[in-house]
Amino acid sequence: MVNDCSSSSLLERLRRHKAITFQSELSSPIQFNIDEGSQFRLTCSFLSNFDKIDIFWFHNNTLIESFISKTIVEEEDDNVENSFLASIIVSTIEIEKVHFDMNGTYKCIGMHKEIYSQQTFHIHVITNNTDSIETNSSENALITIHTYQSLFEPRTQTSLMCRVGNKRKNECNVQWFDPEDESLDKLDEKTDLTLINPNFEDHMGLFTCRICCHNQCQSLTSFVYPAGPEK
């Protein structure tokens, strides 16, 4: 009985408290060295009480990518608004061969209206050639964002994010698959997936977002767990 009361109190607090929190466990180290010419990967993760958030990436205080959700709206259903939602949303910068001009500080910001969280990473590129010519390496970067995990109580709908940065999205194809590996239609924000009246029987499991760019593909998984109504 004590555990039930504690669990119920925790859920009530989570329903009232809306936040976005940086998740170091699923993110890159905040400081690391990398050799010029090697593969570059930088990951930033947020725990959010919203199924969609805006993500901004900065390199040395210059905006290099933004993911804006045009359809962020407040739920009208009181039962939905007061239910519990926890999403882990991950954004990653990848580049095949890092150049010395990728050196410096990177900042990722997760935001929903006035609520936000941010983290700064310090990257030191070890150069092999003192005569290296500066290039715009970020132009070749593949920057993605996707929902890594989504846990929620009954609601009319929820979204799973999966997007490619603006500089590369025209050369990439995004396709969703359900836990049975059946292809799904994209219903929102062009490449985000909207689940209507999600329930445990039909929607619990791993959804896969497959991104293919120039015959190179990667699969990003989203674990979805719709909790049943309280008894």
Output the pLDDT for position 6.
57
In tens digits, the chain (231 residues) has pLDDT values of 334 555 677 667 767 788 999 999 999 999 999 999 899 999 999 999 999 999 999 999 999 999 998 765 544 444 565 688 999 999 999 988 888 888 999 999 999 999 999 999 999 999 876 555 555 566 678 999 999 999 999 999 999 999 999 888 888 999 999 999 999 977 667 899 999 999 999 999 999 999 999 888 999 999 999 987 665
- Spatial neighbors of 33 by CB under 8 A, at least 6 apart, are 124, 125, 126
Q: What is the pTM of this model?
A: 0.87
Output the pLDDT for position 185.
79
Q: Which fold has domain 2-226?
A: Immunoglobulin-like (2.60.40)
Q: How many CA atoms lie within 13 A of 2 on its CB side?
A: 0
d(CA 130, CA 146) in angstroms, rounded, equals: 38
Output the pLDDT for position 229.
65
Residue 132 DSSP label: P
Sorted by where each begins, the domain ranges of the chain are: 2-226
